[in-house]
Structure 1
Amino acid sequence: MSRQLVSLVTPVHGPAVSLLPEAYASLVQQKLPEGWDWEWLIQEDGEGVGAAAHLPGDDPRISIDFSRRGGPQVARTMALARSCVTGESEFIKVLDADDRLAPGALARDIDVLTSNPKVGWTTSRALDLLPDGSTVGFEGDPENGVLPAGSVWQYWQANKRAQVHPATLCARRDLILALGGWMALPASGDTGLLLGLDTLADGWFHDEVGLLYRKHPDQITQHPFHAKGSEWEARMRIIEQHIRALRTVIPEGGACLRG
């Protein structure tokens, strides 16, 4: 029986490269269902990042490449292009270089996507990982279970943010390809992808912690343009226009996976 793969995509640039060993440690601790394995597609955002120096050279599941500097969304899409080279990968999982998977995260994603053909993507509860090693959670997570297609969009329209964390995404590869990968924005491209997936298919929320989301001064979300100003307004506008355009060709508001 041939192995089935979940492909993890990781963009890396700058100081985050030194945190790759912690991401790797969280990955090798994952226990996957029988017949499943993972591949880790690390995409250096520009030359000379040096990811290989921070990771073991004898793990064949790790694949490192680089592309011209284009930001993390472009790097993720370039990593996506390297998935499924052997025709085995079904699911794409996000793992940023500075984050850590929680125990059981991959197994839960695989279980939901293999047992629920109408579900196209999953997210999970995330905890902020603070510099002192402590963690902080959030109120207002959805209940465990199905997120009907269009529900994330409805929440986003009211709040200009999603109620689930795009850094925890795992999705069917063909749906990500149908959307062209991540939106090529300086930030929020993963939110654009999440809302696109929400337009195409039902999702699933795991109420168990799936990710430790590291907070540090060098992350994109700390940039002064991230949450206000003309750039933020432009990002929100193009994301909204993208989803509205998708919904004109999928008038039911999603659920293109019907089992």
Structure 2
Amino acid sequence: MTAAVDRRIAVVTAVHAPSAGFLAEAYKSLCAQELLPGWSWHWVIQEDGATDEVRGQVPDDARVSFRQGRPGGPGVARTMALARAEGPYVKILDADDLLPAGALARDLAVLEGDPEIGWTTSRALDLLPDGSTAGFPGDPDEGPIERGAVLDFWTANDHRAQVHPATLCVRRDLLLALGGWMALPASEDTGLLLALNAVSRGWFSREVGLLYRKWEGQVTGQAAHVDPAEREARMAVVEARARALADFRLRPPLTDRPPSSRPAFTD
């Protein structure tokens, strides 16, 4: 179990000017969370850029930390936010999304209850402009997700995972060991999900853990996101990384290999 002094969960949010207006609703959903006894959250917001539009939308709350930086996309912003993330776990919350009641408590219960689980995901619902929601068919069963299962499903289903990367809650040390999010113009969260699944078991909760807002300004709704050439390249490097991590983890240390198989080092 986690020591009492470390019982904080970092909620990491990347934001850019077009999505800044949604921060108030995200904050409201965060404040409504009831955590496990003795736990608290802190919200680490990182702007992808440095604009007046975002700063003015950040809540005035001691539990909220805000920084700005050079634009590089949401993956870069989230990774930069890790410098300020305290506690053993990191929860993802995009600026335009909402956390339903109980989401953080369920993530914490799983990760605190089983040290072999490295990350959690949960059911997501699309939040449509009229306020209605829509679900996804084919959610997996509640319970553990074995290593490699996400990659297998993803490759067999036109590069679509059976769990949503925007619902991730992950052990902070594991996230840092993998280098945070991938340096991609998009799909950086899918790349992280597959990397996590390559090296550790995960968990899926069938309880709704995210309301994923659909709106005209979201990055995944832009034409560049579905450009065939770029998408093919993104998917190729995401898959290659996941397979390399899975293979690397299975290799014995150099000291356990026969001398003839060890690499030779020369000046």
TM-score, normalising length from structure 2? 0.90
Give the counterpart of 1:68 among 67, 70, 75. Answer: 70
2:18 matches 1:15: yes
Question: Deviation of residue 14 (structure 1)?
Answer: 1.9
Match of 2:262 in 1: none
Contact kept? 1:17, 1:50, Cα under 8 Å: yes
Question: Deviation of residue 197 (structure 1)?
Answer: 0.5
Match of 2:124 in 1: 126
Q: What is the distance in 2 between the residues matched to 1:188 and 1:38?
A: 27
Contact kept? 1:91, 1:172, Cα under 8 Å: yes
* Change beyond 3 A, Cα 1:228–1:56: closer
Q: Deviations over 1:54-87 (max 9, x none)?
A: 2432x21100001100011100100112112xxx
Question: Deviation of residue 51 (structure 1)?
Answer: 3.2
Runs of 4+ aligned residues of structure 1 deviating over 3 Å after TM superposition are: 49-52
Match of 2:141 in 1: 143
Counting aligned pairs with the same residue, the percent is 56
RMSD: 1.2
Give the 3-state SS of the residue equivalent to 1:7 in structure 2. Answer: strand
Q: What is the distance in 1 between the residues matched to 2:200 and 2:247?
A: 15
Match of 1:101 in 2: 99
Match of 1:53 in 2: 56
Paired AA for residue 205 in structure 2: H
Aligned length: 247
Q: Structure 1, unaligned stretches of length 5 or more? A: 253-259
Match of 2:42 in 1: 39
TM-score, normalising length from structure 1? 0.92
Structure with greater helix percent: 2
* Change beyond 3 A, Cα 1:251–1:8: same
Question: Deviation of residue 228 (structure 1)?
Answer: 4.2
Q: What is the distance in 2 between the residues matched to 1:90 and 1:12?
A: 23
Structure with greater strand percent: 1
